Amino acid sequence: MATVSQSAPNITLKKRARLFFLIVPAIFLADYFTKHLVKRTMVPYEETISVIDGLVKLRFIYNEGIAFGINPVFISSWLLILISSSITIILIVYIFFSHYGDFIGLVALCLIAGGAIGNLSDRIVYGRVVDFIEIGIKDLTWPVFNVADISVTCGAILLVLCLFFQKPGAAGFESSETSGQSPPTKRS
């Protein structure tokens, strides 16, 4: 049975709140202002602006699907809002109240939350998400995305790396094998 490690970093609620309110609003505001700038200066689905010759372009589109152009027809806009809201709320509660004690992992979760809130706000206000960054070479391009998508993707990659390279007990939990305690015995 897992026990709370005595040697795990103590990330208090105050530190979690400070980390959350440093990262999440920064991601949300960066996402909001870049989308706002694109909506004010570009026409959707019409023009493309080359940023890095042939590699990075700005192309304003609306994404009514989940992510990276995935648009399952059986999922309505309101169902996407409900699912996104639920996942975001669970993530925020986890950030604040879990015993997860890995600082880099908490940063990753905050990046995911900031991006999720950015795209969720678009979905609530417009019923769709503003995407505008396109990368690729000639006709071989990645689906158009935005700052919130970058944040969620970077957070997810960082979280996977943290979990993959984590030492036993480093996240605030350790197994009975690493804690020196014998496993619990079954009582009759």
What is residue 168's predicted lDDT score, i.e. its pLDDT? Answer: 63
What is residue 7's predicted lDDT score, i.e. its pLDDT? Answer: 45
Going 118 to 121 to 123 to 128, the CA torsion angle's sign is negative
- CA proximity to 99, closest of 21, 180, 176, 5: 5
What is residue 174's predicted lDDT score, i.e. its pLDDT? Answer: 45
Which amino acid is it at 37? L
What is residue 186's predicted lDDT score, i.e. its pLDDT? Answer: 54
At 23 the three-state DSSP class reads helix
Let me know if 132 is exposed, middle or buried by CB neighbors in 10 A (0-12, 13-18, 19+).
buried
DSSP 8-state secondary structure symbol assigned to residue 12: -
CB 4 within 8 A of CB 172: yes
pTM (predicted TM-score)? 0.81
What is residue 65's predicted lDDT score, i.e. its pLDDT? Answer: 74
Q: Which residues are catalytic?
A: 131, 149
What is residue 74's predicted lDDT score, i.e. its pLDDT? Answer: 62
Cα–Cα distance measured from residue 131 to residue 38, given in angstroms and rounded to the nearest whole number: 9
Walk along the chain (188 residues) in steps of 10 and give the mean pLDDT of each run: 49 94 98 97 92 92 75 72 93 91 93 96 92 90 93 96 76 47 53
Give residue limits of the domains in the chain: 12-68+77-167
